[in-house]
Each structure stands twice: as structure tokens, then as C-alpha cells.
Amino acid sequence: METLDVFHLTKGETKSPGLSLEKQIEYLESLNGRVSNRRERRWINDRILLELVPRMTRDEIRGLFAPPPWGDEARSSPFSMTNVMEWDKFRNIDMDKEVFHLSCSSSKNRSHVDADKIAALTAWHRVECKTRDAFRRSFLPELVDGYEENIRAFVSKAGCEEVLVLRVQDPFHRLLLHGVCEFYDLVSTTESEATGTKVLKMTKIKKKNADSNKLLTITLCQFLKMAKDGFL
């Protein structure tokens, strides 16, 4: 059986100046069907890959090895240009003290956030079950946020005997308003008001006591969004 000497044949023919890159690759690919030796076939595949990859330029080679020996000189870092004594103070921090201060600051922040969440959760449990189901079923964030703006302004500025009056005619919206009042621990009652031939509803809101002017850090809208996203 005839044996094809790939190493001598391809070296002579693929380097011919008359052959283009495409012709060389086609010739090398055609040899795969005529070569059964694994070593020779591996050599052909390597030659095909070498022909497909163009030769690198000087700038491209320089980019691979930058910084030195071919790249520009390394730039001085800001730390190396500072005063040595000041840099040593920053570098020689006691690791035990660093860990202690970091743990204290993180625990304080975590406890503060947890306290706000617990306060909001306690306020949420003041809302009646029927109203909580209404919030879960249909949140209406823009409407609730408007109620909260009025109520938070009333709680922070109004006296104990003052009354906030909101005229909400939609029964479902009025239910959400009562829920917001319960969340902020306020007393809300709805009364009918006759205006000519029409009977309108008005909701009167007032504080339970003088301590009711403490506002929660987390609003009802924020609490419901956090509960929906699973952050509680």
C-alpha cells in the first residue's frame, strides 16, 4: 500500500509562492482523507490552524507583553508618591482592631434595620384581617402613597385634639384608608354628610393620644413592597 509522506510533501507544496492562503488551506484539508496515521493527521490540523491565524505585528506582540520588557514603564501609584510615614500608618493597622470596629458598625446597622422592620411588622398586625386581605388583593400604591402623605403630615404637625377630614367616596378606597390609619395607630370614623340632594361620605381621623406623633421609618407602601419581594 502506498504511503504518503506528508511532512515532505506539504512543506514543499504549501510554501509555493503561487498558492494563495485559501488554496493552501484547501490542500491541507484534502490531505485529511488521504492520511490514516494519527500523528500525520494531527500535524495537518496544526498546519491548518497556523494558516488560519495571521501573523502578529510588532504592536500586537508588544500589547501581549506590556508592561515591560516591551511595554511602557510602570506608572507610579498614588501610594508610592505619598509620604512614607503616612502610608505606614495606613498600612500597619492592627487587624484585630479593624475586625472589631467593622463588626460593631455592621451589627449596629443591622440592629437598626431590624428594629425598623419589627416596628413596621407590629403596625401591620394592627390592621384588621379583612383590610390586610384587601391590601394583598389590590395594593394600589399611588392611592395608598397619597393617603400616607396626608396622614404623615397630620401626625407630625397636628395637635392631639385636631381632626383630619378626607372625603373618599369609593367604598374600597375608603377601606384602604382605614387600613392606613390603623397602620399608624390612628382613630378613623366615616360619617355621612348631606349636600343638597347628595349624601357624601367623609372620614375623620384623629390621634389616640399624645404619643401618636411618632412616625415609622418604613412606610406602609415600602412595607408591602418589601413583603412582596421577600425582604421581610
Shared domain for 125 and 221, answered yes or no, is: yes
Residue with grid cell 490540523, as numbered in its chain: 45
- Whole-model pTM over 0.85: no
Q: Is residue 208 part of a domain?
A: yes
Q: Is residue 69 part of a domain?
A: no
Shared domain for 56 and 124, answered yes or no, is: no
Shared domain for 118 and 216, answered yes or no, is: yes
Helix axes of 171-183 and 220-229: crossing angle, nearest 10 degrees: 90
**Cα 135 from Cα 124, distance rounded (Å):** 11
Shared domain for 116 and 55, answered yes or no, is: no
Q: Is residue 97 part of a domain?
A: no
Q: pLDDT digit string (tens) for 110-166? A: 555 678 888 888 899 999 999 999 998 887 889 999 999 999 999 888 777 789 999
Q: pLDDT digit string (tens) for 9-52? A: 444 444 444 456 677 667 777 776 677 777 877 887 787 777 77
Shared domain for 148 and 214, answered yes or no, is: yes
Range of the domain at 15: 6-62
Shared domain for 55 and 118, answered yes or no, is: no
Shared domain for 39 and 117, answered yes or no, is: no
DSSP codes, 151-209: HHHHHHH--SS--EEE----HHHHHHHHHHHHHTTEEEEEEEEEETTEEEEEEEEEESS
Residue 163 has φ and ψ, to the nearest 5°, of: -125, 135
**Cα 191 from Cα 120, distance rounded (Å):** 29
The domain total for the chain is: 2
Q: Is 176's pLDDT higher than 90?
A: yes
Report the candidate in 12, 30, 17, 24 with the shortest Cα–Cα distance to residue 50: 24
Q: Is residue 78 part of a domain?
A: no
Give the chain's radius of gyration (CA, Å): 39
Q: What is the mean pLDDT of the chain?
A: 76
**Cα 6 from Cα 48, distance rounded (Å):** 13
Domain edge (last residue) among 62, 77, 99: 62
Average pLDDT over residues 177-184: 93
Q: Is 6's pLDDT higher than 60?
A: no
Domain edge (last residue) among 20, 44, 62: 62
Shared domain for 51 and 127, answered yes or no, is: no
Q: Is residue 100 part of a domain?
A: no
138 three-class SS: coil
Q: Is residue 89 part of a domain?
A: no
Average pLDDT over residues 178-202: 89
Shared domain for 204 and 128, answered yes or no, is: yes
Please state the separation of Cα 139 from the chain's center in Å: 24
Shared domain for 53 and 139, answered yes or no, is: no
Q: Is residue 74 part of a domain?
A: no
Q: Is residue 206 part of a domain?
A: yes
- Percent of the chain's residues with pLDDT above 90: 23
